[in-house]
Amino acid sequence: MTDPRPLMETLDEQACWTRLQNSEFGRLATAAGGQPDIFPINYAASGRSLLFRTAQGTKLAELADNTAVAFEIDHYDSEGGWSVVVRGDAQVLRTPAEIADAEGAVSLRPWIPSVKPFFVRITPTAVSGRRFQFDLDTTLEGTL
Amino acid sequence: MTDPRPLMETLDEQACWTRLQNSEFGRLATAAGGQPDIFPINYAASGRSLLFRTAQGTKLAELADNTAVAFEIDHYDSEGGWSVVVRGDAQVLRTPAEIADAEGAVSLRPWIPSVKPFFVRITPTAVSGRRFQFDLDTTLEGTL
């Protein structure tokens, strides 16, 4: 009752980008042929875009069918959490100049040792985020 | 070199369900009108289905357009992680009997205090998961 912070608040775009820049793991949603799919990915923010690497596989095939994507990062603990969602367009980088630019723009943490030769850049069309505290006194009826 | 565990392994279906039963937070991917979207949600496993609650809003509108969904949970720390992805069909529960059954089947943790009167059940068509260790000695070239 005495805590002035709201239980949920919207993150402004700069706060969303700060979180995108400070994270390295998220989930990519695709929609090839009307079927949603979701992939955990490592990524890096590069300016106002996101970069990730992938192998020749399902993700790349789905992006060839439909370049519209959504991407999400979040963090939760016992007190609350936040999430940021990016909607945008994903393009496989094709030219040596684009690829060199991507390699130079980001420092990608070593991860699992599979060969993932393709760079994909997500160009956002919308970025949104929210932050909230859990309200553990709330009854079930109005929650979840 | 002496660790016999593979860097990545597939989780069998039972291992996926154990993780789905022991988690309460994931991300729902939808694909209304060919546009992927992604929503952090609280959920509960109920037998071999998943239940979540929602308000009259974007999620519900997108599911009215396309009931195909994907759902993901994951956990990562400095040593490795795992993820489980469920693909399936999402249906809003309509009858009092369905809703009573859903309310009785799961114990939903109190969460943020917004009114979310609709129950949605995801009936899986495919469940997959994987677990991996990070390989911090791997060079950038073959990773991410």
ipTM associated with this complex: 0.86
Q: Amino acid identity of A102?
A: A
Which top CATH class is B10-133?
Answer: mainly beta
Q: CATH fold of A8-135, please?
A: Pnp Oxidase; Chain A (2.30.110)
Q: How many residues does chain B have?
A: 144
pLDDT one digit per residue (tens) for chain A, 144 residues: 455 556 889 999 999 999 999 999 999 999 999 999 999 998 999 999 999 988 878 888 889 889 999 999 999 888 889 999 999 999 999 999 998 888 877 655 545 556 777 899 999 999 999 998 876 554 343 344
* 3-class secondary structure, A89: strand
Size of interface A-B (CB pairs under 8 A): 161
Q: How many residues does chain A have?
A: 144
Find, in chain B, the residue whose alpha carbon is nearest to that of A74.
Answer: B40
The pLDDT confidence band at residue B136, using thresholds 50, 70 and 90, is: low
Find, in chain A, the residue whose alpha carbon is nearest to that of B53.
Answer: A144
Q: Domain coordinates of chain B in residue numbers? A: 10-133
Cα separation, A35 vs B29, in Å, equals 10
Find, in chain B, the residue whose alpha carbon is nearest to that of A24.
Answer: B144
Residue A144: what pLDDT?
41
Number of neighbours of residue A25 by Cβ within 10 angstroms: 14
Contacts of B130 (CB under 8 A, 6+ apart): B8, B9, B10, B11, B82, B83
Residue B142: what pLDDT?
39
State pLDDT tens for residues B96-109. Answer: 999 888 887 765 55
Residue A126: what pLDDT?
98
Cα separation, B20 vs B82, in Å, equals 12
Q: Following DSSP, what letter does each residue of A53-78 receive, concatenated? A: EE-SSHHHHHHHH--EEEEEEEEE-S
To the nearest whole Å, the CA of B108 is away from the closest chain A CA by 7
DSSP tag of B33: T
List of chain A residues whose C-beta atoms are within 8 Å of the C-beta of residue B53: 143-144
List of chain B residues whose C-beta atoms are within 8 Å of the C-beta of residue A111: 134-135, 138, 143-144
Q: Which residue has the tokens 């899986």?
A: B124
Residue range B108-116: mean pLDDT, rounded: 60
List of chain B residues whose C-beta atoms are within 8 Å of the C-beta of residue A85: 37-39
Number of neighbours of residue B76 by Cβ within 10 angstroms: 15
Better pLDDT: A42 or B29: B29
Q: Sign of torsion, CA B46 A31 A64 A55?
A: negative
To the nearest whole Å, the CA of B81 is away from the closest chain A CA by 11
| Closest of A36, A85, A71 to residue B90, by C-alpha | A36
| Closest of B43, B55, B143 to residue B102, by C-alpha | B43
Residue range B56-78: mean pLDDT, rounded: 91
Percent of chain B with pLDDT over 70: 82
